[in-house]
Amino acid sequence: MYHLFINSVPLVLYLSEPWAKTLAFFPFIITVFSALLLAKFNTDTRQTHSFIGVPTPAITIFATGMALILHNDSFHLTPALLNSFVIGGISMVLAYLLVSDLHLIALKFRSFGWKSNRAQYLLLLMSGISFIVFGMAGIPLAIVFYIILSVINHRFQLNIDPLTSNKS
């Protein structure tokens, strides 16, 4: 993200300015929040069947996927993605997702049955389709699918869990 940020417009136009050189380190907020996530993970006892907060490897895959999109830009996304404000915004969103209270699917399979692994299988299917259809652009899209599917899965589980439902 740092490399993308320092090569982005309009930041690249001002790199000779002292404030711009300081601002160029803004994407490292992801590193700081990754450390916070790991510290939180090591002390949080609620994370047995799901992750709370987007796992650091998923953020890494997303950022690497952005770089790969720019390297193989068959969708002409370079002008939109190589923008300081877009990269800064993405960095802030990724940092927030690291320490958020989102419950995300753990990709651990306890069995291979459909019912107990429905979300994992759907994620694998959606990711595979996105890779086939979008190529390198499918990599960050798979992470977006992971987050959306996890939120839907968690909401669905809350609605059917007899311990959390309010039956009067």
Q: What single string gives the DSSP state of each residue in 30-76?
A: HHHHHHHHHHHHHH-TT-SSEEES--HHHHHHHHHHHHHHHHT-TT-
Q: Is 168 contained in some domain?
A: no
Q: Is 65 contained in some domain?
A: yes
pTM of the prediction? 0.79
Q: Is 40 contained in some domain?
A: yes
Q: Is 69 contained in some domain?
A: yes
Task: Output the average pLDDT for the chain.
Answer: 84
Which residues span the domain enclosing 134? 2-160
Q: Is 166 contained in some domain?
A: no
Number of folded domains that form the chain:
1
Q: Is 51 contained in some domain?
A: yes
CB 27 within 8 Å of CB 87:
yes
**Residue pLDDT, tens place only, 16-56:** 887 777 888 889 999 999 999 988 887 777 766 678 889 99
Position 115 pLDDT exceeds 80: no
Least confident residue range of 68-77, 89-98, 159-168: 159-168
